[in-house]
């Protein structure tokens, strides 16, 4: 009888072409997603006069620099970044999701929507939030430009197998508490290097109870806790999501695929290098107060009093006083969107709070893709946002990273559904508080960081 295996073991061994004496594996890459930021890698390819090994497994998406106010003039450097990707995609015969494509969007939203993301695949992208795709039981991880050039040239990647870690969340999440809160909660507890060197498998009844959108949010944020990989074993929820999508297997292939995907689990007796447990009922809506995702706390908590050099510097940058309550901190603006929280369910959660209410601060809502945008408009969510006074814009990475010019001004405080509260992430001197889309909506309505739960009373969510 073979030794018990983790999901990681299964995904790893099915992609391992060979292993070097030093323990590094050469892995086959099933899907390679590129974006404007991949220009360094294409330049390396050009310098070697090399071609893309597998154009039909390589997909190009315009997202990082995508203007969210379409039709307006675009700065030459931003237009140049999009054009470089388009030129490279054409030169190498890659499928391109450009601004005119009806399925354009953020690469980590587009992949799953198009059925490019499937259980059992190895997916690479030159972006640290590639772990998002692990929500389908895929081995998905972000790579740097040198590795992107390597995947383009060989359709393989060298990688040392990480240690397996399991985060189990059992029980039921309270109203107004979402996957974002699970993630910020574990990162606050274990720290931003808590999962370094590990691949996380999320398990437990609360994780099983999440939609694919929620699982993607959870896996997306793995890197903020240090893990390059996050994954959830596929189940009926996964299959329901995938079936019928453009690139999903069809007919007899579907049946064969489902049979194979059924085996993508961790054996009960499998051992994990790290194994941690959380009770869903104990997780409150969570917000970050500092400049690292680990500097997060329940919205009902106070800012830290036990000051280290790191917390002092963070509070100073954020313009906050030690020991003060987090709730009630006034915000200047809000942002809803990103690969973390720009999917339809995220927009519905925000709309549930904003419906019939006015935002007291300005803000923008950027759906994760053109398809999410279309669906939201069919459901009338755009009207709820507009009536609340928020700006409904096109899809892209937008204010999460600010590359397209959607920035937060120095000293301004933004309640944001994104993934990084780093210094200067949303613009030089910008102060970012990460939270769920519903919590961002609560901040919009009250003009301050607020517990969303009272605002949901009597509302269908």
Residues numbered 353 to 382 that lie near other proteins (CB under 8 A) are: none
Residues numbered 216 to 245 that lie near other proteins (CB under 8 A) are: 223, 226-228
Task: Report the nearest approach of other proteins to the CB of residue 176 (Å).
Answer: 29
What count of residues does the chain have?
461
Residues numbered 386 to 445 that lie near other proteins (CB under 8 A) are: 401-403, 410, 420, 422-425, 428-429
Residue in 96, 177, 257, 372 binding other proteins, rule: CB under 8 A: 257
Count residues near other proteins (CB under 8 A): 81
Task: Report the nearest approach of other proteins to the CB of residue 186 (Å).
Answer: 16
* Residue whose CB is less far from other proteins, 116 or 452: 116
Residues numbered 62 to 101 that lie near other proteins (CB under 8 A) are: 65, 77-78, 80-81, 95
**259 CB burial (10 A radius; 0-12, 13-18, 19+):** exposed
Residue in 292, 395, 416, 446 binding other proteins, rule: CB under 8 A: 292
Task: Report the nearest approach of other proteins to the CB of residue 248 (Å).
Answer: 8
Cα–Cα distance, 109 to 346 (Å, whole number): 12
Cα–Cα distance, 17 to 367 (Å, whole number): 39
Phi, psi of 254, deg, nearest 5: -60, -45
Residue in 58, 104, 117, 155 binding other proteins, rule: CB under 8 A: 155
* Residue whose CB is less far from other proteins, 180 or 423: 423
Q: Does 264 bind other proteins (CB under 8 A)?
A: no
Residue in 3, 22, 305, 457 binding other proteins, rule: CB under 8 A: 22
Best CA proximity match to 223, nearest among 252, 280, 183, 178: 183
Best CA proximity match to 138, nearest among 119, 151, 157: 119
> Cβ distance 337 to 367 under 8 Å?
yes
Q: Does 309 bind other proteins (CB under 8 A)?
A: yes
Q: Does 301 bind other proteins (CB under 8 A)?
A: no
**β strands within 131-246, DSSP E:** 139-142, 156-160, 163-170, 198-203, 229-231
Q: Does 249 bind other proteins (CB under 8 A)?
A: yes
Q: Does 312 bind other proteins (CB under 8 A)?
A: no
Residues numbered 166 to 185 that lie near other proteins (CB under 8 A) are: none
Residues numbered 188 to 207 that lie near other proteins (CB under 8 A) are: 192-193, 196-197
Residues numbered 321 to 340 that lie near other proteins (CB under 8 A) are: none
Distance set, CA 204 to CA 37, 72, 171, 207, 321 (Å): 36, 47, 8, 5, 37
Task: Report the nearest approach of other proteins to the CB of residue 226 (Å).
Answer: 7
> Cβ distance 331 to 361 under 8 Å?
yes
* Residue whose CB is less far from other proteins, 27 or 438: 27
Q: Does 108 bind other proteins (CB under 8 A)?
A: no
Looking at residue 94, what DSSP letter applies? -
Task: Report the nearest approach of other proteins to the CB of residue 438 (Å).
Answer: 26
Best CA proximity match to 126, nearest among 213, 29, 47, 26: 29
Best CA proximity match to 130, nearest among 100, 109, 146: 109
Residue 159: strand pairing partners: 25
Residue in 9, 98, 101, 145 binding other proteins, rule: CB under 8 A: 145
Cα–Cα distance, 217 to 211 (Å, whole number): 10
Residue in 3, 18, 236, 460 binding other proteins, rule: CB under 8 A: 18
Cα–Cα distance, 214 to 226 (Å, whole number): 20
Sketch the per residue contact string, 35 through 64, with other proteins: x for CB under 8 A, - otherwise: --x-xx--x----x-x-----xx-------
Residue in 46, 260, 281, 461 binding other proteins, rule: CB under 8 A: 260
At residue 267, the 3 state secondary structure works out as: coil
Cα–Cα distance, 146 to 343 (Å, whole number): 30
* C-alpha radius of gyration, the chain, whole number: 21
Cα–Cα distance, 389 to 359 (Å, whole number): 6
Residue in 137, 142, 204, 342 binding other proteins, rule: CB under 8 A: 142
* Residue whose CB is less far from other proteins, 348 or 423: 423
Cα–Cα distance, 79 to 72 (Å, whole number): 12
* Residue whose CB is less far from other proteins, 91 or 410: 410
* Residue whose CB is less far from other proteins, 426 or 436: 426
User: Given the rule CB under 8 A, which of 25-33, 269-277, 278-286, 388-396 is the region that contacts other proteins?
Assistant: 25-33
């Amino acid at each position: 009888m073979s030794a018990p295996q983790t999901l990681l073991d299964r995904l790893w061994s099915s992609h391992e072409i060979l292993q070097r004496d030093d323990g590094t594996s050469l892995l086959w890459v099933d899907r390679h997603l590129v974006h404007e930021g991949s220009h360094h890698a294409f330049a390396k390819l050009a310098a070697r006069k090399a071609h893309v090994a597998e154009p039909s497994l390589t997909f190009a998406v315009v997202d990082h620099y995508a203007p969210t106010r379409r039709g307006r003039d675009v700065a030459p450097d931003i237009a140049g970044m999009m054009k470089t990707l388009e030129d490279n995609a054409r030169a190498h015969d890659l499928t391109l999701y450009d601004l005119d494509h009806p399925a354009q969007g953020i690469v980590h939203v587009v992949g799953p929507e198009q059925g490019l993301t499937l259980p059992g695949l190895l997916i690479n992208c030159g972006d640290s939030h590639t772990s998002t795709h692990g929500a389908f039981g895929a081995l998905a991880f972000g790579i740097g430009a040198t590795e992107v050039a390597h995947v383009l040239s060989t359709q393989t990647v060298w990688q040392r197998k990480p240690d397996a870690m399991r985060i189990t969340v059992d029980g039921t999440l309270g109203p107004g508490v979402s996957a974002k809160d699970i993630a910020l909660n574990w990162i606050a507890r274990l720290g931003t290097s808590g999962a370094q060197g590990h691949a996380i498998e999320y398990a437990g009844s609360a994780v099983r109870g999440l939609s694919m959108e929620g699982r993607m949010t959870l896996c997306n944020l793995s890197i903020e806790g240090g893990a390059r990989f996050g994954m959830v074993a596929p189940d009926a929820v996964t299959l329901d999501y995938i079936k019928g999508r453009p690139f999903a297997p069809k007919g007899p292939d579907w049946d064969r695929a489902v049979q194979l995907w059924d085996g993508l689990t961790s054996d009960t007796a499998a051992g994990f290098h790290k194994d941690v447990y959380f009770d869903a009922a104990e997780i409150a809506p969570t917000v970050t107060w500092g400049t690292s995702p680990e500097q997060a706390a329940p919205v009902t908590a106070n800012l830290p009093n036990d000051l280290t050099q790191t917390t002092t510097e963070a509070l100073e940058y954020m313009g906050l006083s030690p020991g003060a309550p987090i709730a009630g901190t006034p915000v200047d603006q809000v942002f809803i969107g990103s690969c973390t929280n720009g999917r339809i369910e995220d927009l519905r959660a925000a709309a549930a709070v904003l419906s019939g209410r006015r935002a007291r601060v300005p803000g923008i809502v950027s759906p994760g893709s053109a398809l999410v945008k279309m669906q939201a408009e069919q459901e009338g969510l755009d009207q709820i946002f507009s009536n609340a006074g928020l700006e409904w814009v096109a899809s892209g990475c937008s204010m999460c990273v600010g590359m397209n010019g959607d920035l937060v001004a120095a000293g301004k405080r933004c309640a944001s559904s994104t993934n990084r509260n780093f210094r200067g992430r949303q613009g030089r001197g910008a102060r970012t508080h990460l939270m769920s889309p519903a919590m961002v909506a609560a901040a919009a309505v009250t003009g301050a960081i607020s517990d969303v739960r009272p605002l949901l009373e009597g509302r269908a969510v």
